[in-house]
Structure 1
């Protein structure tokens, strides 16, 4: 019976020529070498994403918050009493940064520079005004959400809370910063 199958196969393939091309045509266009080179160059050059990592303030994950939502966050180990005092406006703030009307990128740069300057001068508490305007696309406030996320990422920020109404309410935050010990000064 096996010989009959073999004879049947030969009869069916008689006159057929073997294929000389051993690659299938997938219908997919060939890659443009210039485009591939360009993409590789872009991937290896400093991009906005890499600049984000330089300052440590990332937009990979932004915590959306509502316009009237009160913000409150404290790093582990920060005393609750300190945070309560700050929320009550009992810790005076030195310095204010107003981010109204800035693009997200410009706001990030200014916030990073402002915090660096505050730390350089050993400032304990500052105020950052982010506003609370709702976006035109109906989503949550953009700068408020970004500031809420960025402050949590900054290594020198101990905590933050929405301000008293007289200082901006839910459109601003008091920010508690670490202080390094200056020579000859005791920490209080």
Structure 2
């Protein structure tokens, strides 16, 4: 700031004031020059950066859509119930098999058109038993559904020879084989069954059947 005016009493005082004003003007000029130089340097640096990276433009934000997670696949409960219902209806306990069974010593079955040599080979053990199911202790409904599912799955997997254990009925009322006749009926009604024979004594005897399945179409 310029010095406060004072009463000038001599020529020397006037010269002091002039000298102070001159010094102040020099300082202000120097500060102005320094500010101009700094601004020029800042502008030059910005220009250098712009020339180095080229033209720029703001990045566009991509539109984001928040998707709800995909719901889990529905459980085909109705389909399962339908399959069980069809299974129960397709295997009847009233089906008459007396005319289809071969009344030999071991009681066997072969579908019409199947050669008698098939049952002979089954009885002789020429087919390897690949899987078995044991229906011992099951109620009729449980045994029917278990057998149907077992035969269906074995057929899908391409198995040809299986064993079905139904028991000899020694623990049943009257010691009668309750499941034996029923299993025979159910097997005959399954299209996958080509033939069956009573198992050999070492494989279950009168308490089991060896079943030959049709070739799978898979």
Would you say how many aligned residue pairs link Structure 1 and Structure 2? Answer: 129
What SS is found at the alignment partner of 1:85?
helix
Where does the alignment leave 5 or more consecutive residues of structure 1 unmatched?
1-49, 183-188
Q: Deviations over 1:77-115 (max 9, x none)?
A: 112112101011111111000000000100001100100
Aligned Cα root-mean-square deviation (Å): 2.5
CA separation in 2, counterparts of 1:83 and 1:73?
8
| Structure with bigger gyration radius | 2
Contact 2:88 / 2:144 at 8 angstroms: preserved in 1?
no
Once the two structures are TM-superposed, the CA of residue 53 in structure 1 deviates from its matched residue by 6.2
TM-score in terms of structure 1 length: 0.62
CA separation in 1, counterparts of 2:96 and 2:167?
16
TM-score in terms of structure 2 length: 0.54
Question: Could you say which residue in structure 1 is the equivalent of 2:85?
Answer: 51
Q: Deviations over 1:54-91 (max 9, x none)?
A: 55111124669xxxx73301001112112101011111
What SS is found at the alignment partner of 2:146?
helix
Which residue of 202, 205, 208 corresponds with 1:166? 202
Which residue of 127, 131, 144 corresponds with 2:167? 131
The structure that is helix-richer by fraction is 2
Question: Could you say which residue in structure 2 is the equivalent of 1:142?
Answer: 178
Question: What stretches of structure 1 move > 3 A for 4+ residues in a row?
Answer: 50-55, 61-64
Question: Could you say which residue in structure 2 is the equivalent of 1:85?
Answer: 121
Task: Using the TM superposition, name which of 139-148 and 73-82 deviates more.
Answer: 139-148
RCO greater where, 1 or 2, for CA within 8 Å and sep 6 or more? Answer: 1
Contact 2:160 / 2:212 at 8 angstroms: preserved in 1?
yes
Once the two structures are TM-superposed, the CA of residue 51 in structure 1 deviates from its matched residue by 3.2
